[in-house]
Amino acid sequence: MKLRSVLLALLAVGAIGGTGALLYAWESSIDPIDPRSAGATDTVMVRRGASLALLGDCATCHTASGGAPYAGGLAMPTPFGTIYSTNITPDPETGIGRWSEQAFVRALRSGVDREGRHLYPAFPYDHFMRVADDDAKALYAFLMSLDPVRSSAPPNGLPFPLNIRLTLAGWKLLFLHQERFVADPSKDDKWNRGKYLVDGLGHCGACHSPRNLMGAEEISASFQGGVAEGWRAYALGRSSPSPVPWDEAALTDYLARGSHPMHGTAQGPMANVADNLSLVDPADVSAMAYYLASLGKGEARTTAKIPVASGPGQQPQAAGVQVATPPLQSDPGGAIYGAVCASCHEGARPLPFGGVGLALSTALADDTPANLINLVLRGIPASTDGSTHPIMPGFGDVLDDRKISDLANYLRTQFAGKTQWDGVAKAVADARANR
Amino acid sequence: MTTLTVNGESRSIKASPDTPLLYVLRDELGLNAAKYGCGLGQCGACTVIVDGKAIFSCITPVMVLEGRAIVTLEGLGSQTAPGPLQRAFIAEQAAQCGYCIPGMMMRAQALLNRDPNVTDEAIRAELQPHLCRCGTHMRILRAVRRAADELKKKSAEVRAGR
């Protein structure tokens, strides 16, 4: 009898708890709108929204390879399974054509779609929660001004129970600390604008901060470096591994152009970010650089004399810029460096063919070999917009795993002056599998 | 002394191990199909096949190629007995000045070896690293298409014959 009452009591507690959790997790649906009513008319707002959408890299995730911009369908591999980005064009059936401004702003800042379903945090609402009303409305106006594209994303490949969206309420309870941006009155307007963009729409920390086992950013380790799509997103500020410390001028240049003579070229996901920022209102990019510079400088790690490639047109392409390869070395990695890398990286060719001197390489100075290996395997493709950032052929089909390991070990000790990385061979195999 | 396997033959190379393959092919082995274009791995004229993959021979020192199978355009057929891809390029008259063509053919051959059922988009994407200044791009694409179709027909005949 006693056992039975205990069981009943437990059951009652469980039911109340379960109902409570359900009530907590439950989000209401917001009424659909007539898609024809949403056509934006305020062109100034649409333009501002377009610049903000670039700053937030919206199209980068919401566009499948070869697909229509903003129509979604890009597969995003996460440690938990594959998530597909959604269609955010104003198509009434497959996009956000029936979403009111209110529904859009809720999705952006709280990660809940119009029908009340929780969105996965691959959508960085943990940053977008800081987006101000006016900016959120401008983004909505811009997206609703796009041509509607009919396109449904494939279903997500997530295991149970992660495929139950109500579980995300628990994740949000633990990791989403809803807050709006609050300006620091002790700082100037430019700093506050920069911080607002970096922490909010720019969602820099989504890649540049480490994540915990549940995929949430570690707030205590902000900008201490993270990973994105097989690439290392370097630590920013005081912990930056860059051999030459970043300053505001270098950051402004790099963010807007995707490369800097003392720091090299944006690669991997950062290449998309820089492409987008090149089209954003320059005042916003400048504010972001101003704020990022205020995070502090790392220590200078190189005293090497650095050849800086001159800009295009400042030097004839062929005159006196072809360097003889250095004498053949007995170290297997050194021999490859001399025969394969040195003629560009030690030459003083003008851009885009002038390689960055490797004493400047952040990839070599960083804690993991991931970015170096990606670079050696794939190279740096030429820009598609005619700009003159450095280019490099990939050597993935030329050098086998062993040779890439030899090369990595040589470059690391020779140019970064650090001890060899652990696990280079495994990192090479991983990078190839990721390709 | 470096030993290379070129078009199925073992060749002893006198040049220093850090010499780019392109120079060895042209200057030492007399295989002149691969061309010097930019010397930077950016134009594609020097492309040859190594272990089934298209690579730029101008930036590949011979020391990393020992024990690997190198195929040059000469390996695809001869003037008297041209291979399927070479016949297709002749049929479509795909060359104008012709300087880029050996490189284009080697990357196309690597693609067809991998996947004879290739789509037109895949051909375009694959040949993207190759520059042609005459502008015979449409003929080049047709020639690769023609070779792919011929290879497909042949493999279908072989299957039917069995």
Q: Which residue has the tokens 């790392």?
A: A298
Nearest CB partner across the interface for B18, out of A328, A399, A400: A328
B17/A335 Cβ within 8 A: yes
- Gap between the Cα atoms of A404 and A398, Å rounded: 10
Asked which of A121-125, A181-185, A314-318, A384-388 is least confident by mean pLDDT, the reply is A314-318
| Cβ-count burial B25-52 (b if 16+ within 10 Å, e if not) | bbebbebebbbebbbbbbbbbbbbbbee
Beta strands (DSSP E) in A38-158 are 75-78, 81-84
Quick one: pLDDT at residue A350? 75
User: Do A55 and A99 form a contact (C-beta atoms < 8 A)?
Assistant: no
Looking at this protein, which amino acid is placed at residue A351?
L
B42/A391 Cβ within 8 A: yes
The residue among B38, B49, B59 with the most chain A CBs within 10 A of its CB, best to mutate, is B59
Please give the angle made by the CA atoms of A313, A321 and A391, to the nearest 5 degrees: 65
Please give the angle made by the CA atoms of B138, B139 and B145, to the nearest 5 degrees: 95
Q: Tens digits of per-residue pLDDT, A320-340?
A: 445 566 788 889 999 999 999
Cβ-based contacts of B42 with chain A (< 8 Å) = 353, 382, 391, 393
Quick one: pLDDT at residue A319? 42
Percent over 90 (pLDDT), chain A: 70
- Gap between the Cα atoms of B25 and A187, Å rounded: 65
Quick one: pLDDT at residue A434? 79
Contacts of residue A7, Cβ cutoff 8 Å, sequence gap at least 6:
none
Answer whether residue A405 shows pLDDT above 90: yes
Answer whether residue A57 shows pLDDT above 50: yes
> Ramachandran region of residue A271, left (φ > 0), alpha (ψ -120 to 50) or beta?
alpha
What SS3 string covers A244-266? CCCCHHHHHHHHHHCEECCCEEC
Joined together, the tokens standing for residue A205 give 């920390």
Is some CB atom of chain B closer than 8 A to the CB atom of A213? no
Q: Which helix (H) or strand (E) holds A28?
A: none
Cβ-based contacts of A353 with chain B (< 8 Å) = 40, 42
User: Do A257 and A389 form a contact (C-beta atoms < 8 A)?
Assistant: yes
Q: Nearest CA to CA, how far is A61 from chain B (Å)?
A: 22
Average of pLDDT values for A239-264? 93
CA dihedral A183, A187, A188, A194 (to 10 degrees): -60
Looking at this protein, which amino acid is placed at residue B92?
E
User: Do B60 and B17 form a contact (C-beta atoms < 8 A)?
Assistant: no
**Short-list A111, A234, A232, CA closest to A175:** A111
Cβ-based contacts of A393 with chain B (< 8 Å) = 40-42, 56, 59
Nearest CB partner across the interface for A393, out of B17, B18, B41: B41
Joined together, the tokens standing for residue A152 give 């449904």
**Short-list A92, A113, A127, CA closest to A165:** A113
Asked which of A207-211, A379-383, B140-144 is least confident by mean pLDDT, the reply is A379-383
Answer whether residue A258 shows pLDDT above 50: yes
A393/B60 Cβ within 8 A: no
Cis status of the peptide bond prior to A332, with omega within 30 of 0: no
Average pLDDT, chain A: 89
Cβ-based contacts of A339 with chain B (< 8 Å) = 17-18, 61, 63-64
Q: Nearest CA to CA, how far is A368 from chain B (Å)?
A: 25
Average of pLDDT values for A176-203? 95
**Short-list A21, A193, A178, CA closest to A108:** A178
Comparing A314 with A161, the larger pLDDT belongs to A161
Residue A120, classed as helix, strand or coil, is coil
Q: Tens digits of per-residue pLDDT, B24-46?
A: 999 999 999 999 999 989 999 99
B50/A398 Cβ within 8 A: yes
Average of pLDDT values for A294-310? 70
A340/B59 Cβ within 8 A: yes
| Cβ-count burial A365-395 (b if 16+ within 10 Å, e if not) | bbebbbbbbbbbbbbbebbeeeebbbbbbbb
A397/B50 Cβ within 8 A: yes
